[in-house]
Structure 1
Amino acid sequence: MTRVVAQGTFDLLHPGHLHYLREAAELGDSLHVIVARRSNVTHKEQPLLPDRQRRDMVAALDPVTEAHLGHEEDIFVPIERIDPAVIVLGHDQHHDDDAIRRALADRGIDSEVVRADPREPAYEDEVLSTGKIIERVCEERC
């Protein structure tokens, strides 16, 4: 059985998230998604929604076999537990692919690291970014 891991913040779910998770799921038999804890999100604005709510929403998506909350101190703890054959990074995630490969090798984790393809909007006003969703809400409702 080929386990695949995807990870992210998944604050306000949008079609770009679904595209990422569908693509990741195609690479194996089961897709495990690690949802970042709010306290670990330091590279952008922290999520608006609570950790468990984001995890529960991701878990409800068809491509996802199981959704997990990230570890509070060490992002590699869930990876060690899941032991995936493949780790799929989002096309626009801030991670350094080579640094992740080195960290995995240092821990004796044998996982391939790949990037998901980007998804272009399917129609003119489709929104594929949590930040852009928030901007639109503020423009139209605030």
Structure 2
Amino acid sequence: MIRVVATGTFDILHPGHLWYLEQSAALGDELFVIVARDVNIRHKPKPVIPEQQRRAMVGALHPVSRAVLGDSSDMYRPIREIKPDIITLGCNQHFDVSRLRKTLQDQGIAAQVVRISEYTDSAFTSSRDIVREIIRRANQPDMQKPDNSWHNEGDHQ
């Protein structure tokens, strides 16, 4: 049985996340996903979605066998516990693959590292870009006033 590990923040789920997880799952029999802890995220803004909710959402996705939160002090602990055959990296994860392989070897983790290609069939494959677009649209004049026309006439709460 080939065990694969994927990692990430998974703040606002989008088609790029699903692509990454589907491609990762296709490499093995089980896909474990390690969801980054809020305290460990330093390379980008803190997530909007709380870590437990991010873990639950990722765990509910079809390709995922099990989703766990990362360790707040030792990022390699969950990997040592899961014992993967393959670790996948997303196209925008900023890891130097050769340095990661060396670190994994030093940690006693004998896993192959595979970089997953970018998903290009959607305009929104970045949580950061989605947030920017929400802000842009919220600042448009026609977005200032909510449209309640979908309510039925007798629907008054």
Q: Write the distance in 2 (CA, Å) between the matches of 1:46 and 1:138.
A: 17
Q: Shift of residue 46 of structure 1? A: 1.3
Name the residue aligned to 1:82: 82
Matched, 1:3 2:19: no
Stretches (4+) displaced over 2 A = none
SS in 2 for 1:110: coil
Name the residue aligned to 2:129: 132
User: Following superposition of structure 1 onto structure 2, how do residues 67-78 of structure 1 map, counting pairs within 5 Å?
Assistant: 67-78=67-78
Query: Which stretch shows the higher mean deviation, 25-34 or 94-103?
Result: 94-103
Q: Write the distance in 2 (CA, Å) between the matches of 1:58 and 1:51.
A: 11
Q: Write the distance in 2 (CA, Å) between the matches of 1:96 and 1:47.
A: 23
TM-score for the superposition, normalised by structure 2: 0.86
Matched, 1:16 2:16: yes
Q: Write the distance in 2 (CA, Å) between the matches of 1:15 and 1:96.
A: 24
Q: Shift of residue 100 of structure 1? A: 1.2
SS in 2 for 1:84: coil
Structure 1 gaps, min length 5: none
Q: Match for 1:65: what amino acid?
A: S
Q: Write the distance in 2 (CA, Å) between the matches of 1:69 and 1:99.
A: 23
Q: Shift of residue 40 of structure 1? A: 0.4
Q: Write the distance in 2 (CA, Å) between the matches of 1:127 and 1:105.
A: 35
Structure 2 gaps, min length 5: 140-157
Q: Write the distance in 2 (CA, Å) between the matches of 1:73 and 1:121.
A: 36
User: Following superposition of structure 1 onto structure 2, how do residues 25-40 of structure 1 map, counting pairs within 5 Å?
Assistant: 25-40=25-40
Q: Give RMSD over aligned pairs.
A: 0.9
SS in 2 for 1:19: helix
Bigger radius of gyration among the two: 2
| Identity across matched positions, percent | 47
